[in-house]
């Protein structure tokens, strides 16, 4: 049942993917209508080349659904006719590198911080940790990133201000390349990690607080187990269930989390690609990114449902 609902949802995403961007004002052939060098004949030829002169329904819709189901996302309008899969694939790696590492760091630190503050509820560690988590959770990525650039890049000069690699640099070996990459990665990675830690910490703290009142915790205390053993072996595994859903959602929203952070640091990933495609009304690229985002969220939630069944046997009943 879950698999059938997942497939149906993906099909609805494909249909919405077609309609959404054609409801936007403007058209790819009218991005720069005041350019005197573009004639009406050239504009009509461009519309015919990208099949924009055909009726929206059913011609364009049928062609779009058919090609999408075959894995053909078309050709980019902005990037000189390159296949959309190639355009997105070139930017997918940097985004996965940035968001994947940030998610990993945030999951480890956020869940650990939330578990510790929830277990020490009411103490100084709880007040300080929960306060920091709330501040980080309420701050957008660009609010976190701009002070980091001002302090550590522009002020101290420890890290570059933007980009993924130094423009025009030649590297003597892999170590020098890795050093340059890590120096450019440091600030955007710290920005996204800090932005994600707050949400994981708050959710885990709430779950641990509720778990502390369960009977099996009192039984573990009666057996003489230490607080650390109770937290690691009893409270934390049972409090982890709500965090699974949040982790799955965050993993699905790769593009959503990448846009603001990548724009601030000019990181060459899917976020900056989305903005470039929006500026040029590049329908095929926008549709490809939206499809990737939608399918990622649906599949992440499907995996979360499966994992739920293994973590909590009651879900399978």
Is the pLDDT at 291 greater than 80, yes or no?
yes
CA 205/CA 212 separation, integer angstroms: 11
Contact 105, 193 (CB under 8 A): yes
Radius of gyration of the chain measured on its C-alpha atoms: 24
State how far the Cα of 109 lies from the Cα of 209, in Å rounded to an integer: 18
Work out the average pLDDT over 144-161. 84
Residue 140 is predicted with a pLDDT of 80
Q: In 3D, which of 20, 8, 18, 13 has the Cα closest to residue 57?
A: 18
Which span out of 74-78, 227-231, 271-275 was modeled with the highest average pLDDT?
A: 271-275
Cα–Cα–Cα angle for 293, 192, 163, rounded to 5 degrees: 85
Please name the residues in contact with 13: beta carbons below 8 A apart, sequence gap of 6 or more: 290, 291, 294, 295, 298
- Smallest CA-to-CA distance from 261 within 160, 101, 142 is with 142
Q: Global pTM?
A: 0.74
Quick one: which of 191, 210, 202 has its CA closest to 134? 202
Average pLDDT (31-40) is: 56
Q: What is the pLDDT of residue 47?
A: 62
Closest by CA to 217, choosing from 198, 230, 205, is 230
With a cut of 70, say whether residue 36 has pLDDT above it. Answer: no
pLDDT at 208: 81
Q: What is the pLDDT of residue 49?
A: 60
Q: How far is CA 270 from the centre of its chain?
A: 9
pLDDT above 60 for 33: no
d(CA 279, CA 288): 16
pLDDT of residue 138: 82
Q: By the 8 A CB rule, do 193 and 136 touch?
A: no
Cα-to-chain-centroid distance, residue 79 = 23
Indicate whether 52 pLDDT > 80: no
Please say whether the beta carbons of 30 and 77 come within 8 A. Answer: no
Q: Report the distance separating Cα 111 and Cα 200, nearest Å.
A: 6
Do 128 and 145 form a contact (C-beta atoms < 8 A)?
no
pLDDT of the residue at 1: 79
What is the mean predicted confidence (pLDDT) over 49-56?
Answer: 64
Q: What is the mean pLDDT of residues 247-261?
A: 68
Is residue 34 scored above 60 in pLDDT? no
Contact call for residues 137 and 198 (beta carbons, < 8 A): yes
Identify the three-state secondary structure at position 162: coil
Instruction: Give one word for 214, left, alpha or beta, with left for phi > 0 and alpha for psi -120 to 50.
Output: beta
Residue pair 293/270 in contact (Cβ under 8 Å)? The answer is no
Looking at every residue in the chain, the average pLDDT score rounds to 78
Cβ contact 97:192 at 8 Å: no
Per-residue pLDDT, averaged over 22-49, amounts to 60
Chain segment 153-208, per-residue pLDDT in tens = 888 888 888 777 777 777 777 888 888 888 888 888 888 888 888 888 888 888 88
More confident site: 1 or 30: 1
């Amino acid at each position: 049942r879950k698999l059938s609902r997942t497939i149906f949802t993906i099909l609805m995403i494909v249909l919405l993917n077609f309609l959404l961007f054609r409801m936007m004002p403007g058209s790819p052939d009218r991005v720069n209508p005041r350019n005197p060098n573009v004639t009406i004949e050239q504009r009509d030829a461009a519309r015919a080349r990208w099949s924009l002169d055909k009726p929206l329904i059913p011609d364009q819709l049928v062609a779009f659904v058919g090609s999408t189901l075959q894995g053909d996302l078309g050709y980019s309008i902005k990037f000189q006719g390159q296949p959309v899969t190639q355009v997105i694939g070139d930017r997918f790696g940097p985004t996965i590198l940035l968001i994947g590492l940030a998610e990993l760091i945030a999951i480890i630190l956020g869940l650990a911080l939330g578990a510790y503050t929830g277990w020490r509820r009411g103490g100084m560690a709880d007040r300080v940790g929960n306060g920091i988590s709330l501040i980080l959770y309420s701050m957008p990525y660009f609010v976190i990133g701009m002070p980091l650039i001002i302090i550590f890049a522009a002020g101290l000069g420890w890290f570059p201000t933007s980009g993924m690699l130094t423009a025009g640099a030649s590297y003597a070996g892999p170590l020098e390349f890795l050093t340059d990459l890590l120096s450019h990665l440091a600030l955007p990675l710290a920005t996204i990690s800090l932005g994600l830690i707050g949400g994981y910490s708050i959710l885990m703290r709430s779950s641990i607080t509720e778990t502390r009142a369960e009977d099996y915790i009192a039984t573990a205390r009666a057996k003489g187990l230490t607080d650390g053993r109770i937290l690691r072996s009893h409270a934390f595994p049972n409090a982890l269930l709500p965090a699974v859903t949040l982790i799955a959602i965050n993993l699905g929203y790769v593009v959503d989390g990448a846009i603001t952070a990548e724009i601030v640091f000019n990181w060459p990933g899917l976020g900056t690609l989305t903005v470039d495609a929006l500026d040029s009304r590049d329908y095929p690229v926008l549709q490809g990114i939206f499809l990737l985002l939608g399918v990622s969220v649906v599949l992440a939630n499907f995996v979360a449902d499966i994992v739920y069944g293994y973590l909590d046997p009651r879900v399978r009943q």
